[in-house]
Amino acid sequence: MTKTDLINISKELFVKYFFISHKFQYLCDYELGKDQLTTKQALAIIAIEEGFSSPPSIREVSDLLGTTRQNITQLIYQLEKKGFLTTERDNNDKRNLRLKVTEKNQKYWESRATEHDQFIYSLFATLTEEEIHVLRKLTDKLLENIDWLYKTVKNQSPEVESGTSKD
């Protein structure tokens, strides 16, 4: 296979990943919309619960999710109104807010665990067990590269944040 062939396949994969991403979001918004939640709100909750060993700041969550602090602030506001999150001032730096999930949040996800698990499983139902393991390994490898590129660009061009997707 030539380099041109690899570039063309890479372009095809690039487009397909965007299509998958948008369709995942549409399907997840539909599923979560039954409870007046969005995919982005759910991802923020997952990031807060699983991405940190202690309650994170808005900046930490925005860095993890690759979006702006303004976008995360809007999500946090909506989730606070719904009772899924609370914010507390950082003891060491009163300018920072620390984000914590609430008991209501935990009860919600526990009550919907079976339905949500079935929904997520349905997204990958056409894959064999072996294909799921291969996809996971390849996705981890791709994500590692994307994270490295993201951090490199972000460190070189802090002004890029204002151009981060607000979708």
pLDDT 10s digit of each residue in the chain, 167 long?
Answer: 999 999 999 999 999 999 999 999 999 999 999 999 999 999 999 999 999 999 999 999 999 998 999 999 999 999 999 999 999 998 888 888 999 999 999 999 999 999 999 999 999 999 999 999 999 999 999 999 999 998 899 888 755 544 444 44
Q: Which residue has the tokens 């590269």?
A: 145
Classify residue 34 as exposed, middle or buried by CB count within 10 Å of its CB (0-12, 13-18, 19+): exposed
83: nearest Cα among 102, 56, 111, 62: 102
Domain parsing of the chain, residue ranges: 124-167
Judged on CB neighbours under 10 Å (0-12, 13-18, 19+), 167 is: exposed
Token pair, residue 149, equals 């590129």
Whether the model clears a pTM of 0.85, i.e. scores above it, the answer is no
Alpha carbon separation from 28 to 15, 82, 91, 124 (Å, rounded):
20, 18, 36, 14
Helix/strand/coil (H, E, C) string of 58-102?
A: HHHHHHHHCCCHHHHHHHHHHHHHCCCEEEEECCCCCCCEEEEEC
Does residue 23 sit in helix, strand or coil? Answer: helix
Burial (CB < 10 A; 0-12, 13-18, 19+), residue 94, is: exposed
Phi and psi, residue 102, nearest 5°: -100, 170
Q: What is the pLDDT of residue 165?
A: 45
pLDDT at residue number 102: 97
pLDDT of residue 96: 87
